[in-house]
Amino acid sequence: MAAPSVERLVYGQAPDGLPAHRWVLTVGKYQASFTEWGATWVSWNIPDKSGKFDDVILGFNDVSQLHRARGGCFGSICGRYANRIGNAQFSLDGKTFLLEANNGPNCNHGGRTGFDSRRWKAEVGTLHQAAYIRFTYISNDGEEGFPGELITSAIYTLDHTGSVRLDLRAECETATVANLTNHAYFNLSGLSASSIGDHCLQILSQQYLECDHSTLPTGKIYSVESTPFNFHPRSSPKAIGTYLNGDPALAHTRGYDHTLVIQGEIGHLRPAAKLSHPASGRVIRVSTTAPALVLYTGNWLKEVGDGALGKAGKPYDNHSGVALETQNYPDAPNHPHFPSARVDTTHPFVQTTVWEPSLQA
């Protein structure tokens, strides 16, 4: 096997007027690429059952299109707080902090200019049978209303099995909150214009968070039994499209946009989900240290894409990709019984997720 390599390519001019780049990591037959704009995962080429490699991540050929579609956070790191914080405010140590509301009355994915729309510093390197890129970003005190200077890093590593590992870390010298995730949309058909309704999904979860009509958690946690949210492996394999269109529980979200609690001990790397595409034979297994997984079936991709042209030269349709967002619970700062989102000098944010490709037996 050839030595792992990293190639830097031009990725257009970013909104800050400076050039953006796309770094292509190659390890054996596998490739994945990333850009410093939003610390974004741009592409991932994995084989089907015939050995044909295809890109299975929705994305763009130029940073200008990526930014135009920023409402969809395509492949980007979401922060300072991924998902929603209710009424765009929270209290910490007796003080209330007002955030930028960008999703009705709520703050979603960090506000109007979240981590997905920031330039990160990039460093690259190779290891034995692996290549990596380390992104770092310093979020200033008061950015989007959040307290404290947050120093954040996101390290993507591609290894000889084709697996991509993401190690996230955030530190702050004063008390704040943080919740980071990668927001890649997967389509294992390799045809990113097709619906993901024929993809099969398993999630190691027995509970989900009830949400209101603004997709904000109510604080109640229910069993997935006898609901459209039951993707547990002990149940029959379920196609995502089984309930995607028409189930009353999904009507107001136009599909899945729900948080499922991952079984096992928080902070320990453990299996979380398995996404498969029977026609191509492709499979992705997801492991994480995070408390939960937000299942989002790209219900608004056409609208939030704002006409941006995808890799095939046309906008993405709704439900053309599925995001498996490993993260803490949405709105955790406002629910004391949810896992803590607090970050301070003794409690950094640390999270690992691994996406492992394989083929159906």
List residues bridging with 351 in a β-sheet: 168
Average pLDDT estimate for 185-202: 91
Q: What is the pLDDT of residue 236?
A: 77
Go through the domains of the chain in sequence order and give each one's CATH number. Answer: 5-192+294-359 (2.70.98.10)
pLDDT-derived band at 361, boundaries 50, 70, 90: confident
Task: Write down the mean pLDDT value for the chain.
Answer: 96
Q: Tens digits of per-residue pLDDT, 255-277?
A: 999 999 999 999 999 999 999 99
Ramachandran class of 210: left when φ > 0, alpha when ψ lies in -120 to 50, beta otherwise: beta
Q: What is the pLDDT of residue 192?
A: 64
Q: Which helix (H) or strand (E) holds 67?
A: helix 63-68
What are the catalytic residues? Answer: 183, 325
Q: What is the pLDDT of residue 111?
A: 97
Q: What is the pLDDT of residue 244?
A: 87
Q: What is the pLDDT of residue 193?
A: 65
Q: What is the pLDDT of residue 209?
A: 98
Q: What is the pLDDT of residue 245?
A: 80
Cβ–Cβ under 8 Å, residues 69 and 95:
no
Average pLDDT estimate for 23-28: 98
Distance separating alpha carbons of residues 214 and 312, to the nearest angstrom: 32
Q: What is the pLDDT of residue 332?
A: 98
The neighbour count for residue 212, using CB atoms within 10 Å, is: 10
Average pLDDT estimate for 227-240: 91
pLDDT-derived band at 230, boundaries 50, 70, 90: very high
Q: Tens digits of per-residue pLDDT, 282-306?
A: 999 999 999 999 999 999 999 999 9
- Does the structure show a pLDDT above 70 at 63? yes
CA dihedral 226, 229, 231, 232 (to 10 degrees): -60
